[in-house]
């Protein structure tokens, strides 16, 4: 990947990430997050992880963020106005983040980073290589992930649906009311 492309994408990703945390309108935050995700997807593709890069665009930017968008509209989330106080917490948070960043920098600059660099074989990142590894070494994790997705779907539907009147009556805190009425 040519360095100029990397610097462009890195700048884009960082600016968009800053946009996510600093915008007041949640829909603008979401669009900035989509931009970050797409920049990271292109970074993936540039390093040879082609399938995972496209999957990032399809799954993350194309599906999960649309879900976020729908929830923002459903809840009619208001635009945040001004500062909400608690300045001490924000100051300490900023200090903590600066400390985290400094620590990550110290430990990840490559004089400490002992990585066995190896070349990429032909077909690295193509769907053949990914599926070979996925379905041989990580087969159990794959199956458990499918169960996880099923459970997540059931859980999300169960949590977010509106309870019918009969079910609301069955709750213990509502039975006192019916006893009084009867």
Partner 1 sequence: MVQLSWLMELSAAIFAIGVAGFLARRNILVMFMSIELMLNAVNLAFVSLGSRMGTMDGQVIVFFVMTVAAAEAAVGLAIIISIFRNRQTVNADDLTLLKW
Partner 2 sequence: MTIELVVGAIEAIVMVLIGLHLSIFLLYFERKGSALIQDRVGANRANITGLGRKLGMPNLGIINTLVADPVKLFTKEDFVPEGADHFIHGLAPFLALFPVLITFAVIPFGDTITLGGHTFNLQAAGINAAALYLLATIGIGVYGVALGGWASNNRWALLGGIRATAQMISYEIAMGLALVSVVMTYGTLDLQAMVRAQGGVWFGFLPRWGIWIQPLAFILFLTAGVAESKRIPFDLPEGESELILGYMVEYSGGKQAAFMFTDFAEQALTAMLLVTFFLGGWQLPWLYRDGFHLPGGHLIAIAPLAVSILGVIAFLIKVVILCAFLGLVRWSLPRFRYDQLMRLGWKGLVPLGLANLLVTAFIIVAMGGAH
Q: Which residues contact 25 (CB under 8 A, 6 or more apart)?
A: 79
* Size of the residue set binding partner 1 (CB under 8 A): 85
> DSSP for 31-49?
HHHHHHHHHHHHHHHHTT-
Q: How far is the CB of 1 from partner 1 (least distance, A)?
A: 5
**Is 62 near partner 1 (CB under 8 A)?**
no
Q: How far is the CB of 73 from partner 2 (least distance, A)?
A: 7
Site of interaction with partner 2 (CB under 8 A)? 25, 27-28, 31, 34, 38, 41, 50-51, 54-55, 57-58, 61-63, 66, 69-70, 73, 126-127
Q: Within 13 Å of residue 108, how many CA atoms lie on the same side as its CB?
A: 6
Q: Which one of residues 90, 168, 170, 175 is an interface residue with partner 1 (CB under 8 A)?
A: 90
> Which of the 8 DSSP states describes residue 137?
T
Residue 12 binds what, of partner 2, partner 1, none (CB under 5 to 8 Å, by partner type)? none
Tokens of 11: 């700048």
**Is 13 near partner 1 (CB under 8 A)?**
yes
Q: How far is the CB of 154 from partner 2 (least distance, A)?
A: 16
Residue 149 binds what, of partner 1, partner 2, none (CB under 5 to 8 Å, by partner type)? partner 1
Binding mask 163-182 for partner 1 (x = CB under 8 A): --------------------
Listed in sequence order, the DSSP H helices in the chain are 3-22, 26-46, 50-55, 65-75, 87-108, 127-136, 139-160, 165-170, 172-181
- Restricting to residues 15-44, which ones interact with partner 1 according to CB under 8 A? 17-18, 20-21, 26, 29-30, 33, 36-37, 40, 43-44
Tokens of 124: 């690295």
Q: Measuring CA to CA, which residue among 15, 8, 5 is closest to residue 36?
A: 15
């Amino acid at each position: 990947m040519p360095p100029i492309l990397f610097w462009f994408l890195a700048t884009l990703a960082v600016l968009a990430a800053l946009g996510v945390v600093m915008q007041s309108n949640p829909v603008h935050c979401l669009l900035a997050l989509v931009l970050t995700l797409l920049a990271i997807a292109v970074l993936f593709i540039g390093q040879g992880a082609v399938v995972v890069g496209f999957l990032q665009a399809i799954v993350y930017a194309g599906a999960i963020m649309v879900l976020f968008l729908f929830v923002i509209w459903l809840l009619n989330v208001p635009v945040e106005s001004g500062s909400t106080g608690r300045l001490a917490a924000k100051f300490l948070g900023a200090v903590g983040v600066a400390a985290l960043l400094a620590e990550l920098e110290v430990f990840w600059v490559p004089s400490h980073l002992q990585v066995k660099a190896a070349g990429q074989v032909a077909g690295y990142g193509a769907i053949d290589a990914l599926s070979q590894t996925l379905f041989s070494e990580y087969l159990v994790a794959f199956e458990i992930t499918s169960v996880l997705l099923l459970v997540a779907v059931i859980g999300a539907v169960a949590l977010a649906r509106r309870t019918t009147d009969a079910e609301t009556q069955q709750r213990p805190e509502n039975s006192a009311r019916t006893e009084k009425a009867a």
